[in-house]
Amino acid sequence: MSDDQIQDLFQNAEEWSPHDDNDDGDNSGGSPGPNSPLPPLELGSDVEIADGVSQALCQDRGEVIFSEGHFWYYAGSHWRAIEPHELRCVVHRYDGIPPAGGRAIKLNKSRIDSILNELSAMLTRPDFFAEAAVGINCASGFIAFAPDGTPSIVPHQPDHRCRHVLKGTWDDEWITDAEQIFLVVEASGLLLARLLRGVFLHDLDAQEKRQLLAEIAGAAALGYGTKLRQPKAVIFEGKTAENGKSQVLDLFRGLLPSDAVASIPAGKMGDERFVVGLVAKHLNAADELSGADAIASENFKAVVTGEPATGCDVYRSAVTFRSVAQNVFATNTLPSFRGGMDKGVQRRLLVITFDRTIPAEERVENIGLRIADEDADVLLRWAVAGASALIRQRGFTEPPSSKTALREWFLTADPVLAWSRSCIEVVDEKSPAWETATIRSAHAYSKFKSWALGEGYRENTLPASSSFTRRLCANHNSIVAKHKSDGNVLIGIRITSTEHEGINET
């Protein structure tokens, strides 16, 4: 890219300023429904009062819906949740009003709760936000994406069904390649380039890592994390201090408005009081990963892949929803898995290594938050470029170092997989030699256990014989377990290490 092109693309960068986080396009003013006339009552039943409240809300705020445990109205640029106290105050207006020919209405907590329960039934739209348009809602409009990832800007519309507005601005003239944007901001001396270069300096796959970070930012901005072909939780692994991973987490958090961000560690995802905090969130960024049991749980899988999850705030009804949040966790040490890591867990994880300790003279205090505050437009444009690539690819870029880190984690976490990589040959089931490559299951387990103890695995972490067989077959499709009259055997396997010679049996 020439100096003239850089100047043309970036000439107004020094004039960019952050937008007010509270500028959401809602110009109607006041609490929902405080001035609208209440319809008269005939019976004074809870259902009739709920209908009157619905009419008052809709007169003041337009269409009002109930979805994922909240009432929502369109605030000019996005759908906003109505606060519970605002709803109760609308109901309060019926207190003391007599229905036709009856006594004055007397409201208390239980009756107000009943009225709001009926109101939710009247206005419910359970899949309303599940049908949201794919795009990024920002201060200058809605950034839509073609199937090939090409972005374009259109005005805000209720039918986009967005619940957040990012504070940056964007236009069709901006470049949509994340690495070119990096070079532009680097030439202009902005903090984003300083952070992205500093954390991966001297890494052989630094460019791929930067691209992946842009795609993660794009996934969060889109609310697209669970819509990929293979949704993944991203883990920032940095064994040393001051490696920049916390600053990158802050960068992602600052990209989005605060009500679009959660911070729930994997270990809390099985708690309905915590998981409900993911409703309407685009990013779940936590500085804690939790242990292997949490990562292997069905609750974690449901959140990462967008399967239905049920949560409940204290004293409120349970709500079932599908998370759209991109999950990002930071850790110094990847946890060990008791008995190994199954393939379902492996498919849900993506590791990014932060191997460099940033020298003191290179550090910028709170650089991640400063970028989001001072260079919101630049950050948004970088995220749009990442989103464009993500939509085109339908998956994340996986740097070579990420694949290596994940493979090493699997081998360390799974002694069965490590043993099979070191000590056996798997015979293809289409090979004529497949049926003759047979060994008794008990012999295989005995040799595995001996090898694992010799390699330093603790005995209480090793799987039982039946689990060993299941895991071996799960990791190698050509290995088949069969029951014979004289005992169980494994077909399609030869033990190849010299210490095990002679134990293959027909």
Q: Of the residues 409, 441, 471, which one is the last residue of a structural domain?
A: 409
In a domain, 11, yes or no: no
pTM: 0.83
Among 471, 388, 402, 368, residue whose Cα is nearest residue 232: 402
The percentage of the chain sitting over the pLDDT mark of 70, rounded to a whole number, equals 90
> Encoding tokens for residue 420?
């099979």
| Same domain for 159 and 105 | no
| Same domain for 142 and 122 | no
| Same domain for 336 and 208 | yes
CATH number of the structural domain spanning residue 141:
3.40.50.300
Report how far residue 25's alpha carbon sits from residue 165's, in angstroms, rounded to the nearest whole number: 9
Torsion angles phi and psi, residue 176, rounded to 5: -125, 35
Strands (E) in 248-343, as ranges, are 261-262, 283-286, 308-311, 319-322, 326-331
Let me know the angle formed at the C-alpha of 118 by 114 and 121, rounded to the nearest 5 degrees.
Answer: 145
Residue 31 pLDDT > 50 = no
Is residue 261 a contact partner of residue 282, using CB atoms and an 8 Å limit? Answer: yes
Single-letter amino acid, residue 416: V
Q: How many residues does the chain have?
A: 506
| Same domain for 432 and 302 | no
Structure confidence by residue, pLDDT tens digits, 155-165: 999 999 999 99
Q: Of the residues 100, 131, 162, which one is the last residue of a structural domain?
A: 131
| Same domain for 117 and 182 | no
In a domain, 29, yes or no: no
DSSP string, 195-231: HHHHHTTT-TTHHHHHHHHHHHHHHHHHT-TTSSSS-
| Same domain for 220 and 368 | yes
In a domain, 8, yes or no: no
Q: State the pLDDT at residue 339.
A: 58
Q: State the pLDDT at residue 26.
A: 46
| Same domain for 157 and 245 | yes
| Same domain for 116 and 248 | no
C-alpha Rg value of the chain to the nearest Å: 28
| Same domain for 127 and 243 | no
In a domain, 272, yes or no: yes
Burial 145-168 (b: 16+ CB within 10 A, else e): beeebebebeebeeebbbbbbbbb
Residue 17 pLDDT > 50 = no
Pick the range with the lowest mean pLDDT from 2-16, 233-247, 300-314. 2-16
Q: State the pLDDT at residue 25.
A: 43
In a domain, 257, yes or no: yes
In a domain, 15, yes or no: no
| Same domain for 241 and 336 | yes
Q: Residue 30 — very low, low, confident or very high, per pLDDT cuts 50/70/90? A: very low
Q: Which of the pair, 18 or 5, is modelled with greater confidence?
A: 5
Q: Of the residues 356, 378, 409, which one is the last residue of a structural domain?
A: 409
CATH number of the structural domain spanning residue 432:
1.10.10.10
**Structural domain containing residue 253:** 135-409
Residue 419 pLDDT > 80 = yes
Pick the range with the lowest mean pLDDT from 337-341, 391-395, 435-439. 337-341
Is residue 118 a contact partner of residue 47, using CB atoms and an 8 Å limit? Answer: yes
Structure confidence by residue, pLDDT tens digits, 251-279: 999 999 999 999 999 999 989 999 999 99
Torsion of CA 127, 232, 339, 489, to 10 degrees: 90
Residue 11 pLDDT > 80 = no
In a domain, 34, yes or no: no
| Same domain for 211 and 171 | yes
In a domain, 191, yes or no: yes
Structure confidence by residue, pLDDT tens digits, 273-300: 999 999 999 999 999 888 888 888 889 9
CA distances from 414 to 267, 335, 439 (A): 20, 11, 22
Chain-centroid distance of CA 113 in Å reads 33
Number of independent structural domains in the chain: 3
| Same domain for 345 and 273 | yes
Q: Residue 314 — very low, low, confident or very high, per pLDDT cuts 50/70/90? A: low
